[in-house]
Structure 1
Amino acid sequence: MKQSIELKKYILIILALVILATLSKVMLLGTGNAHPTVREITLVCFLIIILSSSNKAYWYIGFPIIIVNALYTPIGLNFGEPTYQYISSVVATDAMESQEFFTQIPIKNYLFAIFIIVAFIYYRKMTIKNGIFFYKNRTLLVCLAIIALINQSPFKFFDNIYHSILNVKNEVNNLNEFTKKSEWGDSTLKVGTPQYDDYVLIIGESVRRDYMNAYGYPIKNTPFISKTNGVIVEGLTSGGTNTVASLRIMLTQSQKDEWLPNYGLNFVDLAKSAGYKVYWLSNQGFLGEFDTPITFIAKRSDIKKFNKMGAFNSKDTSDFSLVNVFQQVLDEKVNKKQKRLFVIHLYGSHPDACARIEDYKNNYRTKDNQFNNISCYVASIEKTDKILGLIYNSLKEQQKQTHRSFSMLYFADHGLSHSLIDDQIKLNLSHVSAKVLNIPLMMFNSDSNTKEYIKVHKSGKFFTTGLANWLNIRNNKIDPNYTLFSGNDNESILKSHFSKLRSGEDDDIPIDIRYK
Structure 2
Amino acid sequence: MNLTLIKSTALTRCRELLSPYIGLYLLLSLLINLALGYPISLLYTLAFTALLILLGNCAIGLQKGLIMVCALVAGCYYPFGQLYGPPNFNTLLALHSTNPEEASEMIGIFPPRDYLMGLAIISCGLLALRRKLPPPKSWSHIESACLAFVVVAWLTQPTLNKLAGWPFSLVDAGYPVARFVRDTVESKLTVDSELARMKNLTSVPDDWQITAVKPTRQIYVIVIGESARRDALGAFGGRWDNTPFASQTVGTFFTHYTSAASSTQKSLGLTLNLVENGQPLYQDSIITLANRAGFETWWLSNQGQIGKYDTAISSIAHRAMHVHFLKNGDFEADKQTRDDDLLTLLPEALKQPVDAPRLVIFHLMGSHPKACDRTGGQYATFVHSAETSCYLYSVTQTDHFLQQLRQQLQNSGLSYSMIYFSDHGLALKAKGGKNEYLMHDDKYQQNFQVPMMILSSLDSRHQVINAARSANDFLALFSQWTGINSKQIVPRYRFISSQKAPPIYVTNFALKRVNYARLAQDKF
> 1: CA distance between counterparts of 2:250 and 2:448?
26
Residue type matched to 1:354 in 2?
Answer: C
> 2: CA distance between counterparts of 1:388 and 1:295?
23
Residue 498 of structure 1 aligns with which residue? 514
Residue 36 of structure 1 aligns with which residue? 40
Residue 232 of structure 1 aligns with which residue? 253
Residues 1:168 and 1:353: Cα distance change in structure 2 (over 3 Å) = same
Residues 1:494 and 1:113: Cα distance change in structure 2 (over 3 Å) = closer
Q: Contact conserved, 1:283 with 1:347, CA < 8 A, in 2?
A: yes
What secondary structure is seen at the aligned counterpart in 1 of 2:418? Answer: strand
**How far apart are 1:11 and its partner, in Å?**
8.7
Q: Give runs of aligned pairs for residues 357-368 of structure 1, distance below 5 A.
A: 357-358=375-376, 362-365=379-382
* Percentage identity across paired residues of the two chains: 26
Residue type matched to 1:343 in 2?
Answer: I
> 2: CA distance between counterparts of 1:470 and 1:412?
18
Q: Give runs of aligned pairs for residues 324-473 of structure 1, distance below 5 A.
A: 324-327=344-347, 329-333=348-352, 335-358=353-376, 362-365=379-382, 370-399=384-413, 404-420=414-430, 423-429=434-440, 432-473=443-484
Q: Write out per-residue CA displacement over residues 20-69 of structure 1, whole angstroms, 9 at most, x where no aligned residue.
A: 11111110111111x32211212322332343321331244553343323
**How far apart are 1:71 and its partner, in Å?**
2.2
**How far apart are 1:386 and its partner, in Å?**
0.3
> 2: CA distance between counterparts of 1:71 and 1:21?
20
> 2: CA distance between counterparts of 1:503 and 1:46?
38
Residues 1:408 and 1:431: Cα distance change in structure 2 (over 3 Å) = closer
**How far apart are 1:276 and its partner, in Å?**
1.0
Q: Contact conserved, 1:279 with 1:341, CA < 8 A, in 2?
A: yes
Residue 74 of structure 1 aligns with which residue? 79
Q: Give runs of aligned pairs for residues 39-54 of structure 1, distance below 5 A.
A: 39-52=43-56, 53-54=58-59
Higher deviation after alignment, 88-97 or 128-137: 128-137
> 1: CA distance between counterparts of 2:70 and 2:404?
53
Residue 296 of structure 2 aligns with which residue? 277
Residue 158 of structure 2 aligns with which residue? none
Residue type matched to 2:424 in 1?
Answer: H
Residue 136 of structure 1 aligns with which residue? 143
Q: Contact conserved, 1:238 with 1:437, CA < 8 A, in 2?
A: yes
> 2: CA distance between counterparts of 1:56 and 1:207?
51
Residue type matched to 2:41 in 1?
Answer: T
Residue 187 of structure 2 aligns with which residue? 164
> 1: CA distance between counterparts of 2:516 and 2:154?
30
**How far apart are 1:371 and its partner, in Å?**
2.8
Higher deviation after alignment, 435-444 or 65-74: 65-74
What secondary structure is seen at the aligned counterpart in 1 of 2:459? Answer: coil
> 2: CA distance between counterparts of 1:113 and 1:85?
22
What secondary structure is seen at the aligned counterpart in 1 of 2:172? Answer: coil
Aligned length: 491
**How far apart are 1:458 and its partner, in Å?**
1.3
What secondary structure is seen at the aligned counterpart in 2 of 1:263? Answer: strand
Residue 513 of structure 1 aligns with which residue? none
Residues 1:295 and 1:68: Cα distance change in structure 2 (over 3 Å) = same
**How far apart are 1:340 and its partner, in Å?**
0.5
Higher deviation after alignment, 121-130 or 286-295: 121-130
TM-score (norm 1): 0.87
**How far apart are 1:138 and its partner, in Å?**
11
Residue type matched to 1:268 in 2?
Answer: I
In structure 1, stretches of 5+ residues that fail to align are 511-516
Residue 500 of structure 2 aligns with which residue? 488
Q: Write out per-residue CA displacement over residues 305-354 of structure 1, whole angstroms, 9 at most, x where no aligned residue.
A: 00125122421121111111223x22434x53411000000000001111
Q: Write out per-residue CA displacement over residues 277-308 of structure 1, whole angstroms, 9 at most, x where no aligned residue.
A: 11000000111275111110111111100012
Q: Answer yes or no: is 1:202 the counterpart of 2:260.
A: no
**How far apart are 1:462 and its partner, in Å?**
1.6
In structure 2, stretches of 5+ residues that fail to align are 1-6, 156-169
Q: Answer yes or no: is 1:87 the counterpart of 2:92.
A: yes
**How far apart are 1:114 and its partner, in Å?**
2.5
Q: Contact conserved, 2:219 with 2:358, CA < 8 A, in 1?
A: yes
Higher deviation after alignment, 39-48 or 137-146: 137-146
Q: Contact conserved, 2:470 with 2:504, CA < 8 A, in 1?
A: no
**How far apart are 1:184 and its partner, in Å?**
3.0
CA RMSD of aligned residues (A): 3.1
Q: Contact conserved, 2:302 with 2:365, CA < 8 A, in 1?
A: yes
Q: Write out per-residue CA displacement over residues 155-189 of structure 1, whole angstroms, 9 at most, x where no aligned residue.
A: 11111111111111111111222253434333254
Residue type matched to 2:380 in 1?
Answer: N
Residues 1:307 and 1:58: Cα distance change in structure 2 (over 3 Å) = same
What secondary structure is seen at the aligned counterpart in 2 of 1:374? Answer: helix
Q: Answer yes or no: is 1:259 the counterpart of 2:278.
A: yes
